[in-house]
Amino acid sequence: MATLNFKGKTFVQNHHLSVKYHQLVPKKDKSLTNKLSLNDNLIIHGDNLIALKALLPTYAGKVKVVCIDPPYNTGNEQWEYNDNINSPMMQEWLGKVVDKEDLTRHDKWLCMMMPRLKLLRELLRDDGVIFVCIDDNEINHLIMLMNEVFQAENHVATMVWQKNSGGGNDTSHIAVSHEYIVCYAKNISHLSFRILNVPPTESMLKAYCLDDEYVSTRGKHTLRNLNDFSIGDRPGLHYDIGCPDGTFLDGDEHRWRCDENTFKRRIKEGRIVFSENDDNEWEIFYKLYINEQKGHLEIDADGTILSYGKKPNTLLYKLAFTGDGKKDLKKIFGICPFTYPKPVKLIKYLVSIGTKKNDIVLDSFAGSGTTAQAVIEQNAEDKGNRRFILIQIPETIKQKVYINKKTGKEVDRPKKGETVSKVIEKPYVLKDGMKLKKIIDIPMHRVRELAENGKKFNNGKATFSFFELGDPIEMESILEGKKMPDYTELARYIFYTATGDEFNPDKVKRNKNFIGDTKDYEVYLYYEPDIEKLKKLAFTLEEAKKLGVYKGKKRLVFAPTKYLDLNDAELIERHGLKGIEYCQLPFEIYKMKG
């Protein structure tokens, strides 16, 4: 396999491992629920690399579909790489705004994408799939990067999405009317896509219209010619067939669609039809019955097709256009406060083929929140209970307003021949008077509108819990009494890093210092978010006795210190302390996963 090399790769290929875990701080005033929970729909405001790392303790191996729309790196976005790479020289290079004049913009884009893709892969289920929207600017680099992170054998397909109906005129030579959606599985051997239920075409409805004596069991049928030279010259497809008038059709001159044994069986079952054409030549047809067709067919009592099963296709032709994304936002807000939002119908298609009713969909480049609406609408359509996780970086949003030189009035876009005196920037104002100051405001208000006006938007219903990134969890700082997380947040971090499994806050028994268990471990945490109380905490013989009877699982005990010799075999035997492993904070945590 070809190797992808780019400037900065050695600094970022393992950068995701050094990113510190941060607290996820709930914000009730920004949430659309009274019961904030990490098991709700989530909207997270903060750097997406840090947010992805913060999600690992709860969502590692739990996400079914990742759907992202990262910067296309056209040179016009003016995006800036801000990851905390441990190299002053690299930070200076990466920290500059990326534009068309930056000859290393592709390197910077790859530096930005690599650690994020690695964390997204950790969050995916083993049967999970990732969809990445992209265009010609980075498609080649992206596929090579995905081959490295996800492995080439897990490349499912590269879909081509027709983004407009006529082709744009923004290129010098050939009008570009498409973009790409690159699709990779975490493990392609475990991947399965949903068969789409597609309305039948008019020709299909007309085709299955014939009756015979088997209609009550096999349904209506259509006829297909048994003779077909297009299927390839395979052994057993050339044989003579006797016709009703005693003549024979020469097998050397025909290539039948089935072998001779299958043909004889079809004759016995009444599935073969002989018919004379206008030239008085025999043609042979076989019957295709509705009730026996492969795939998922939905038919009515008369045998008419209502829908049929269809595999997803790499060509997304006339599915939805770029302009539809703007219409989606205008329908909700009255204006379109986002540049080039993806249409709901496009993302909903990806959600529909990639998920079942209770799956989780993650979008770490949330933008206008199209993914949230797609999940909400898909749930409304099939009565599902999918959840979405949106992550959006802190980014302000303003609209450009032009001042007409002659009238002094504001215009959204100057007309041809109109003279402009100046250009100003101001917040977008929604129809209810709400001002949008940050991009995160768009998905927040979008979901609120969908929830409050469900009937208007395909009966969409949703809640969401809003989180911001808090302080990093740094054990040395904790022991110094600085930036001390609450008990549950530290428990979430320690449980995941110690076991690699999902943390369940419902299992926590604070009075027993128990924070959860797996098939191999019981985990205990002695901690108080108060430095004076923390100084007095220790794992003692009395505390060890409280752990109870050994149940065959290793018992991991995290505490600042201990007054107990766990190497004393006689003591262990006498008090039944088998299977206890003491892990001193903070040092032991660095031996664990992460």
Portion of the chain with pLDDT greater than 70, in percent: 85
Mean local confidence (pLDDT), 409-418: 73
Rounded to whole angstroms, the Cα distance separating 527 from 478 reads: 10
* 392 CB-near residues (< 8 Å, 6+ apart): 43, 44, 45, 48, 365, 366, 367, 439, 440, 443
In the predicted structure, residue 28 carries a pLDDT above the cut 50: yes
| pLDDT attached to residue 588 | 47
Closest CA to 197 of 322, 314, 288, 298: 298
Q: Which residue has the higher pLDDT, 416 or 53?
A: 53
pLDDT for residue 170: 63
Per-residue H/E/C for 99-118: CCCCCCHHHHHHHHHHHHHH
Least confident of 10-24, 138-152, 344-358, 510-524: 10-24
Q: Which long-range contacts (CB under 8 A, 24 or more apart) does 320-323 make?
A: 320/344, 320/345, 320/346, 320/349, 321/162, 321/163, 321/164, 321/165, 322/163, 322/164, 323/164
Name the residue with higher pLDDT: 347 or 398. 347
Q: What are the pLDDT digits (tens) for 226-235?
A: 987 554 566 7
The reported pLDDT for the residue numbered 303 is 54
C-alpha distances in Å from residue 110, one per residue of 76, 79, 94, 259, 297: 17, 13, 11, 54, 44
**Is residue 74 over pLDDT 70?**
yes
The pLDDT score that the predictor gives to residue 245 is: 93
Distance between CA atoms of residues 323 and 580, nearest Å: 62
> Domains in the chain, ordered, with CATH?
9-195+317-397+437-467 (3.40.50.150), 202-310 (no CATH), 473-591 (no CATH)
For residue 349, give the H/E element and its range.
helix 344-354
* In the block, residue with structure tokens 């990445």: 132
pLDDT in tens, 208-220: 889 999 988 888 8
The model's pLDDT over 118-137, given as tens digits with 9 standing for 90+, comes to 999 999 999 999 999 999 99
Cα separation, 262 vs 259, whole angstroms: 6
pLDDT confidence band for 405 (50 / 70 / 90): confident
State residue 238's pLDDT score: 87
CB atoms within 10 A of CB 527: 23
Q: What is the per-residue pLDDT for 97?
A: 60
Neighbours of 5 (CB within 10 A): 10
Per-residue model confidence (pLDDT) at position 453: 73
pLDDT, one tens digit per residue, over 84-116 is 555 555 555 566 666 666 668 888 899 999 999
pLDDT of 558:
93
Instruction: Give the span between the Cα atoms of 591 and 271, in whole angstroms.
Output: 69
Which are the contacts of 540, defined by CB distance < 8 A and separation ≥ 6?
A: 562, 563, 564
In this structure, of 163-172, 194-203, 405-414, 535-544, the range with the lowest mean pLDDT score is 194-203
pLDDT given for residue 302 in this prediction: 57
Mean pLDDT, the chain, rounded, equals 85
Split at pLDDT 50, 70, 90, the class of 419 is confident
Query: If pLDDT is split at 50, 70 and 90, which confidence band does 418 have?
Result: confident
Most confident among 131-135, 446-450, 480-484, 486-490 (mean pLDDT) = 131-135
Euclidean distance between CA atoms 533 and 487, whole angstroms: 13
Where is pLDDT greater, at 110 or 480?
110
The reported pLDDT for the residue numbered 84 is: 59
The predicted structure's pLDDT at residue 350: 95
pLDDT over 80 at 149, yes or no: yes
For the residues 292-317, what does the mean pLDDT come to? 68
Q: Which of 152, 149, 122 is nearest to 54 (CA)?
A: 122
Higher pLDDT, 502 or 59: 59
* φ, ψ of residue 303 in degrees (nearest 5): 85, 10
Strand partners, 363: 390
- Which tokens sit at 120? 């997204």
Write down the pTM of the prediction: 0.76
User: 474-484 as b/e, with b when 16 or more CB fall inside 10 Å?
Assistant: bbeebeeeeeb
- In degrees and rounded to multiples of 5, residue 491 shows phi and psi of -60, -40
Q: CB under 8 Å to 138, separation ≥6 — which residues?
A: 72, 73, 106, 109
Percent of the chain whose pLDDT exceeds 90 = 48
460: pLDDT strictly greater than 80: no
Grade residue 591 by pLDDT with cuts at 50, 70 and 90: very low
Residues 6+ apart with CB under 8 A from 132: 68, 69, 70, 142, 146, 181, 182, 183, 184
Of 394-398, 434-438, 457-461, 485-489, which gets the smallest average pLDDT?
Answer: 457-461
Q: What is the DSSP string of 28-85?
A: GGG-S-SS--TTS-EEEES-HHHHHHHHHHHHTTTEEEEEE------S-S-B------
> Per-residue pLDDT for 410 more than 70?
yes
Q: Which two tokens stand for residue 509?
A: 């028994």
Nearest to 526 by CA among 517, 537, 516, 518: 537
pLDDT value at 589 more than 50: no
The CA–CA distances, whole Å, from 365 to 70, 385, 510 equal 6, 22, 36
Cα end-to-end distance, the chain, whole Å: 28
Q: Are strands 428-429 and 221-225 parallel, antiparallel or unpaired?
A: unpaired
Task: Give me the mean pLDDT over the 59-74 stretch.
Answer: 93
Q: What is the CA radius of gyration of the chain?
A: 31
- The amino acid occupying position 157 is A
Helices (H), 391-526: 441-452, 475-479, 487-499
Q: Angle at which helices 105-123 and 48-59 pack, to 10 degrees?
A: 10
Question: 3-class SS at 191?
Answer: coil
Could you tell me the pLDDT band of residue 142, with boundaries at 50, 70 and 90?
very high
Q: How many CA atoms lie within 13 A of 447 on its CB side?
A: 30
Is a pLDDT exceeding 50 seen at residue 592?
no
For residue 428, what pLDDT is reported?
A: 85
